[in-house]
Structure 1
């Protein structure tokens, strides 16, 4: 049987052998939630890029350009990473080029070595978990964190995945145990628990509480974004 590991920050990714692992990139507030929602709503593809300058390279294309830093839309771009920017009306049939503070960096780092890279969020928790069980591959849950540091919201989601996968996997690292314990403590009131988190406080100061509430909804999407070459596209089972 396969193993599950949790990496709490991209700064630790080099410690993990992921060449034979499916890496699930997690950035709950808000990048991977918005990526999932956008593809669910008909976006053709999402191209994650590392830097704002990389996003600028696409300015003469017909792509939508999205850039976020420190929770805010970068001046001069169409939108950032609020899920409410990824509605059917805005993204259906479109390709989006996106850079964010944490999530897109984690995606790019994972792609360098992983067997496969997919995106996870509470929005697609159940479909993602069921798909991972069927793959019979090792799984690394990679938390994007906050500027290479641990954060609560991504770790809670990692714990939710561990909780759903544990009966079908044989090996867990200590980080998986800790993440699941954290999730079991918080699961009855995720938003209440996350009032303790630093990123939640940052987002509240930006007056986007509705984004936080939205990103904590479970299973409103079935799509699983997968990174193929340079693009996130819907996984075809």
Structure 2
């Protein structure tokens, strides 16, 4: 019996066993959206790290270094986690090292999984198709905001549940909750997302264009996965 589960925040991970599951890490605003965009634009690899200090330790390796905290680029780094920093012109053929407030934290907390996949609205259908082919339990991990639940990640989890629930024999109450929320919002994601605290946070930083971009659905066909500690395009 294959299971489809949703975890609304990494703070709840101790309650779950990730062994035997594919974890889809979700950080819509903006880490997993930017990672997906960067991999689709030809980045050779993206190395997710937990801390600013660890990111800085790669300074002499010839990689691009990205660090974001509280929605802003950390001083002295090449970029943060705006998708517009991950264009083909900037990242094609290059290895990036990245640390973010929420997304890379969730990735690092998922290391006991059989596999880790990066999900976003940008590659929603591609991710869902990939998950079906793997024929394993699926665990949708919402990065949230500093271990608190957020709307945007829950909505994406609901979108995945909506597409995949007929392919699984069992799912959890969090999956039902996430799908119900998505069904309320799917008619106008941009309008619904105005309710989210993180969108307000980003607007105060003057980067509304990032929000709009991250809510594009199915503009990418690549699926980023983690292999040997690096995020690469699935083969």
- Normalising by the smaller structure, the TM-score range is over 0.9
How far apart are residue 61 of structure 1 and its match?
A: 1.6
How far apart are residue 222 of structure 1 and its match?
A: 0.9
SS of residue paired to 2:110? helix
Residue of structure 2 in register with 1:228 after alignment = 227
* TM-score of the aligned structures, taking structure 1 as reference length: 0.98
CA RMSD, 1 decimal:
0.6
How far apart are residue 127 of structure 1 and its match?
A: 0.7
Matched residues in 2 for 1:125 and 1:14: separation? 27
Residue of structure 2 in register with 1:49 after alignment = 49
SS of residue paired to 2:84? helix
Q: Where does 1:48-197 land on structure 2 (aligned, <5 Å)? A: 48-111=48-111, 113-197=112-196
Worse-superposed segment, 65-74 or 130-139:
130-139
Partner deviation per Cα, 1:165-204 (whole Å, 9 max, x = no partner): 0111110100000000000000111111111111110001
Matched residues in 2 for 1:190 and 1:134: separation? 28
SS of residue paired to 1:139? strand
How far apart are residue 235 of structure 1 and its match?
A: 0.6
How far apart are residue 230 of structure 1 and its match?
A: 1.4
Residue of structure 2 in register with 1:18 after alignment = 18
Instruction: Give ranges in structure 1 of 5+ residues lacking alignment.
Output: none
How far apart are residue 18 of structure 1 and its match?
A: 1.0
How far apart are residue 131 of structure 1 and its match?
A: 1.2
Q: Which runs of 4+ in 1 moved over 2 A?
A: none
Pairs aligned (count): 235
Matched residues in 2 for 1:14 and 1:137: separation? 21
Matched residues in 2 for 1:118 and 1:70: separation? 24
Matched residues in 2 for 1:133 and 1:148: separation? 28
Matched residues in 2 for 1:197 and 1:139: separation? 26
Residue of structure 2 in register with 1:5 after alignment = 5
Matched residues in 1 for 2:61 and 2:78: separation? 13
